[in-house]
Amino acid sequence: MTKSLNELFEIELLIQATFSSPWVRGSPSKITIRPIQMKGKLCFQISEQREAQVFHQNVETIDWEELRACYSQGVVFTKQGDYHLLGDKKITSKPPSKSPLSLSHNREKQYLLKEGDTVPFLVELGIMNKEGRVYPQKMDKFRQINRFLEMVQDVLPDQKNLHIVEFGCGKAYLTFSLYHYLVRKGFQVKITGIDLKKEVIQFCQNLAGKISYNIQFKEGEISQFSTPEKVDMVIALHACDTASDRALEKAVEFQAKTILVAPCCQKELYSKISSTSLEGMLKYGIIKERFASLATDAMRALRLEIAGYRTQVLEFIEAEHTPKNLLIRAVFGNKKEDQERAKRELEELSSYCSSTNRSYS
């Protein structure tokens, strides 16, 4: 790469940049940079994250080399390509994946749930105040909720009556959000939330009654749950280890049209990987853990394709917030030839990993 960073990331080419994991104590934990237009002139807007607060400033120039020296991780999106900066030497580049954003100084984020609109359940859950303003320390959760709704919006069915089941619902931030959003879109919605914790279920049921949402919460194991009703959509977000597999098994058993699962803490495959071909990589614990996580999710996605689903693996949460940031989204309707291809791909992937693969069919 012959060009300097200052040439690669000139303001006319920049879309957005994020730097995290500072080397120096006391530095902002994260810096986000984007070009903006003020009084007819382009400049950089810098947002510095310091604990729960974000500070903004506008500058005319940035020394990218100096900034890179202060942070161990950086992601820079430009019109010419995406650049990942790791450590003080390595740079990897990919074709551009982001479109240019509005350069307006006061650009409003187009959230599906908008800040400023008071949403009762978000007030009750401590995400926003009664005036509709999101608390700074809850902004990441607010963004996550909206990101999830965007992913659902892309695969909404034409039918207006929906029965949705969420496994491992926890305090049900996303459960309430989905119900609120779909009702506003004109859907007739029933949601069933399942969790192991009795006190959490009681809290959620009380809240649902208080704000008159047609959501039923039940205590219990995923594998033990059954319903005589048709299930249209299954959700399981951050269901740990094999709980994600049990949720996928149930979704296929229910013949749900849409599945959204964000797995985490995949441990099962980690203990079973044994491959001489990959020995040079798997001898490093952290690399083995990440490989096991990615391989597990790839196997899950392929299993869903085999079961008849068109499947995508998407970024759910920005990588600087958590490495457990993938979401598997599946919609029923995979072609026969794609099912056969998925079978071959799963066999090839499994040949590298000594593991007992779960069947979702």
Torsion angle, CA of 268/144/229/167, rounded to 10 degrees? 30
Q: What is the pLDDT of residues 120-138, one digit of tens each?
A: 999 999 999 998 899 988 8
Class of domain 120-350: alpha beta
Cross-strand pairs, 258: 233, 331
For residue 106, the model assigns a pLDDT of 47
- What is residue 104's predicted lDDT score, i.e. its pLDDT? 54
Neighbouring C-alpha atoms within 13 Å toward the C-beta of 345 = 16
Phi, psi of 77 (to 5 degrees): -105, 125
Name the pLDDT band for 99 (thresholds 50, 70, 90).
confident
Q: Name residue 56's amino acid.
A: H
Residue 205 CA to residue 357 CA, distance in Å, equals 36
Give the CA radius of gyration of the chain. Answer: 22
* Distance in angstroms (rounded) separating the CA atoms of residues 338 and 350: 18
Helix intervals (H) in 186-330: 198-210, 243-254, 279-282, 285-306
In tens, the pLDDT along 11-31 reads 888 899 999 989 888 889 999
Question: Would the pTM of this model clear 0.85, i.e. be above it?
Answer: no
Position 305 confidence tier, pLDDT thresholds 50, 70, 90 = very high
What is the number of alpha carbons within 13 Å of residue 138 lying toward its C-beta? 16
- Work out the mean pLDDT of the chain and round it to a whole number: 84
Structure token pair of residue 28: 């902002």
- In the predicted structure, residue 2 carries a pLDDT above the cut 60: no
Burial of 319 (0-12, 13-18, 19+ CB in 10 A): middle
Band the pLDDT of 51: cuts 50, 70, 90.
Answer: confident
β-pairing verdict for 188-195 and 161-167 = parallel
Which of 60, 66, 53, 56 is CA-nearest to residue 35? 60
pLDDT bracket for residue 361 (50, 70, 90): very low
pLDDT at residue 343 above 90? Answer: yes
Residue with tokens 């959230």: 111
What local confidence, expressed as pLDDT, does residue 323 receive? Answer: 47
Q: What amino acid is encoded at 266 in this protein?
A: Q
* Nearest-angstrom CA–CA distance, 246 and 76: 38
CA distance 282 to 290: 10
pLDDT tens for 132-164 read 899 988 888 898 899 899 889 888 888 889 999
DSSP 131-183: TSPBPGGGHHHHHHHHHHHHHHHTT--S-SEEEEEEES-TT-HHHHHHHHHHH
- Total residue length of the chain: 361
Which of 48-62, 125-139, 257-271 is modeled with the greatest confidence?
125-139
- Domain spans of the chain? 5-94, 120-350
Tell whether the model's pLDDT for residue 48 goes beyond 60. yes
Mean pLDDT of 81-89: 81
Residue 93 is predicted with a pLDDT of: 86
